[in-house]
Structure 1
Amino acid sequence: MFLPTSLATILVLASIVALGPLSTDMYLPSLPRLTTELNASIDQVQITLSIFFAGFAVAQLVYGPLADRFGRKSILLAGLALFTTASFGCATATTIEELIVFRFLQALGACGGPVLGRTMIRDIYGPTQSARVLSMMGTIMALAPAIAPIIGGYMLFVFNWSAIFIFLGAYGAIVTLIITFKIQESLQPENVNSLNPLIIMRNYGELLRSRIFLGYTLCCSFTFSGLFSFLSGSSFVLIDFFGVPEANYGFYFTAVVLGYMVGTQLSQRLGSRYGINKMLVIGTLLASSAGISMLAASLLELHHLYWVIGCQVFFMMAVGMVMPQAMAGAMGPFSKMAGTASALLGFTQSAIAAVVGLIVGHSHTGTPTIMAASIALMGTLAFLSYLIIIKPISINTAAQR
């Protein structure tokens, strides 16, 4: 067994938190091709993305209470088994309807990774150190989405889109074996919660009444939804509008992910010095500015590939600064129901992203404008969430001291 505080444990937990990004980013280059190979419309292909996040959102509400009652490891292994099976199911799909169904099942299994990975970090490191470790883990797991579209693009070039899901199924199987034999249970006996529905609803109610939880959760959710706006629209914008070859799409996506890695590094190095709230105000302001800059250029019809990528790099830098800090801030005060808090945070994040993805896909006009408008709106809403909800709380807390 790996020691709970070892780098090996962090790497394994990063690998399961990365299940969501891997399951979306690796097959992004194939989206335009799926419209012809499965005889589907752009809207239908976009549903394979949004349905994933819908399933991701709903299942998290179940994973959290189950993990608080039965422990993190057993529930995580059950989720990984479903993810692995559904990934192979996606590979065998012959119609867009079959792919949508298997993507939903894949999401139900995959969402256990982020929910329980974050929760286990909170269990092991507590409310103070978890932001630093989540930032470090974010840097590590960013390697996956950085190379995933490149791998997906070349798999698409050499094989076909189904090979991508075979790879994901094999990844799930390997991670399942490692967790089975190398990762310890992190839930302490004194923190075990009841599965009584009334207690579960009471816990969710307590979280929803907490301005601290809601403020941090909305900051996290809106910045993530800005990222998802790019995921939903980028393959069509880059490949169809700007003419980027499918095999090269991943390199542009990697440049964007590098911005995220820079942001997580800043979060890790500066977060302990300046605190969660200062990192959030800088990050959300940067996200809003980057999105508005992309939108302004598109509205003026100044369409340039490198301007779109450059703005998204800065937006992703903001995502890397905001999300680890906001997650730690949302979960910090709730040690006795960390799984439930992580689940509700993840549900909110995924639900908003799923709706945003559907809107971007349905409204796509063939230009970057809709994607850019969504990114700008999400960045601005994240900044307003800090300004309206979190800042007044921090001012009142400081005054009381």
Structure 2
Amino acid sequence: MFRPNSTAVIVTLAAAVALGPLSTDMYLPSLPGLTQVFNTSVDRVQVTLSVFLYGFAFAQLIYGPLADRFGRKPVMLGGLLLFILSSIGCALSTTIEQLILYRFLQALGACGGPVLGRTMVRDIHGPVNAAKVLSMMGSIMALAPAVAPVIGGYMVALFEWTSTFIFLCVYAVIATLLIVFKVPESLAAENRSSLSPLTILNNFATLLKHRQYLGYTLCCSFIFSGLFAFLSGAPFVLIDYFKVPAEHSGIFYAIASCGFLTGTIIAQRTGTRAGINGILRRGTTVSLLAGMAMLLPAVMDIHNLWITALTQVVYMIGVGMVMPQAMAGALAPFATIAGTASSLLGFIQSICAASVGMLVGHYHSGTPTTMAISIATMGLLSLLSFILLIKPGASRP
């Protein structure tokens, strides 16, 4: 068994948290081809991406309270088992309706890793050091969105779209074995809370009334929604509009992920001096400026592959700075209901991102314009969440 505060535990938890990004990013290069496989439309195929986030969102409302009552490990392992079975179902789907259903079930299983991974970090490292550890995990996790679309692109080109789900199934089996045999339970018996519906509802109400919790959550949710707007729109923009071969499209996601990695490194190195709120102010500003730099050429009908790609890299620098810090800031005051706080944050983040993703798919014009409008808007809303909800009267965590 690994020591709770060891690097091995951080890496293992990062692998569990990465299950969500892997389940979307590795799948992206296959999206345009699924319109022919299932003889359906772009917006119908896009539903397989958004329904994942809706399932991801609603399941988190259950995972958090369950984990606060029964512990982190058993709940996470139950989710991983569901993920393994539903990934097999995705690979065996013969209609778009079946794929949508199994993607929803896959999301119900996948969300246990992210919710409980960051909760276990809060359990082990406390409210102050959690931000640094989450940034470190973010750096490790940046490998997932950097490598996954590249692997997914070549797997689609060399094999079939089903190969990505087979890979995800094997990955989840390995993660399950590591957690069973190597990761200790992080929730002390004396910190376990009641599972009564009234207690759970009161906990949710307490969180939603907490101004700074809401501010950190919305700041994180909006900036992630800008990332998801890119993930939803980019497969069709890159492959259909800019004519990038599917096997090469993953390179652009990898480049964008380098921006995320850069942002997490900046946050780690400046965190002690700037504090959580200082990093959030800088990160949200960077993402807004990047979104505007993508939007202005698009509305002037100037569509260039490298303008779109490079401005997204800069946006991702802001995402890497903001998300780990906002998560840590949101969870910091809630030691006894950290699982519930993490699940509500994840629910709001996922609902927001899924809705933006569906809008991008519905209003897709065949050009990068809809995607650019969404990304710039989310950058603005993230900055406004910081200014209006976190900054006023905030202590400097």
TM-score normalised by the chain length of structure 2: 0.99
Aligned residue number for residue 338 of structure 1 = 338
Aligned residue number for residue 99 of structure 1 = 99
What letter matches 1:163 in structure 2? S
Please show how residues 195-274 of structure 1 align to structure 2 within 5 Å.
195-274=195-274
Aligned residue number for residue 9 of structure 1 = 9
Given that 1:226 and 1:375 are in contact with CA atoms closer than 8 Å, whether structure 2 keeps it comes out as yes
Please show how residues 364-379 of structure 1 align to structure 2 within 5 Å.
364-379=364-379
Deviations 1:247-285 (A, max 9, x none): 100111100000000000011111122101110110001
Q: Distance in 2 between matches of 1:29 and 1:147?
A: 12
Deviations 1:342-398 (A, max 9, x none): 00000000000010011000000000000000000000000000111111132xx48
Aligned residue number for residue 63 of structure 1 = 63
Q: Tell me the secondary structure at the aligned position of residue 161 of structure 1.
A: coil
Aligned residue number for residue 311 of structure 2 = 311
Shift of 1:61: 0.2
Given that 1:259 and 1:313 are in contact with CA atoms closer than 8 Å, whether structure 2 keeps it comes out as yes
Q: Distance in 2 between matches of 1:57 and 1:170?
A: 24
Please show how residues 2-401 of structure 1 align to structure 2 within 5 Å.
2-394=2-394, 397=395
Q: Distance in 2 between matches of 1:171 and 1:225?
A: 26
Shift of 1:224: 0.3
Q: Distance in 2 between matches of 1:357 and 1:255?
A: 21
TM-score normalised by the chain length of structure 1: 0.98
What letter matches 2:377 in structure 1? L
Given that 1:212 and 1:393 are in contact with CA atoms closer than 8 Å, whether structure 2 keeps it comes out as no
Structure 2, unmatched stretches of 5+, are: none
What letter matches 2:88 in structure 1? F
Q: Tell me the secondary structure at the aligned position of residue 335 of structure 1.
A: coil
Q: Distance in 2 between matches of 1:72 and 1:31?
A: 34
What letter matches 1:337 in structure 2? I
Q: Distance in 2 between matches of 1:111 and 1:27?
A: 17
What letter matches 2:345 in structure 1? L
Q: Distance in 2 between matches of 1:323 and 1:317?
A: 10
Q: Distance in 1 between matches of 2:109 and 2:271?
A: 32
Deviations 1:12-31 (A, max 9, x none): 00001001100000010000
Deviations 1:223-246 (A, max 9, x none): 000000000000100111111010
Q: Distance in 1 between matches of 2:340 and 2:57?
A: 13
Q: Tell me the secondary structure at the aligned position of residue 40 of structure 1.
A: coil
Q: Distance in 1 between matches of 2:269 and 2:199?
A: 39
What letter matches 2:336 in structure 1? K
Runs of 4+ in 1 over 6 A off after TM superposition: none
RMSD, matched Cα: 0.7
Q: Distance in 2 between matches of 1:208 and 1:328?
A: 16
What letter matches 1:307 in structure 2? I
Paired positions, count: 396
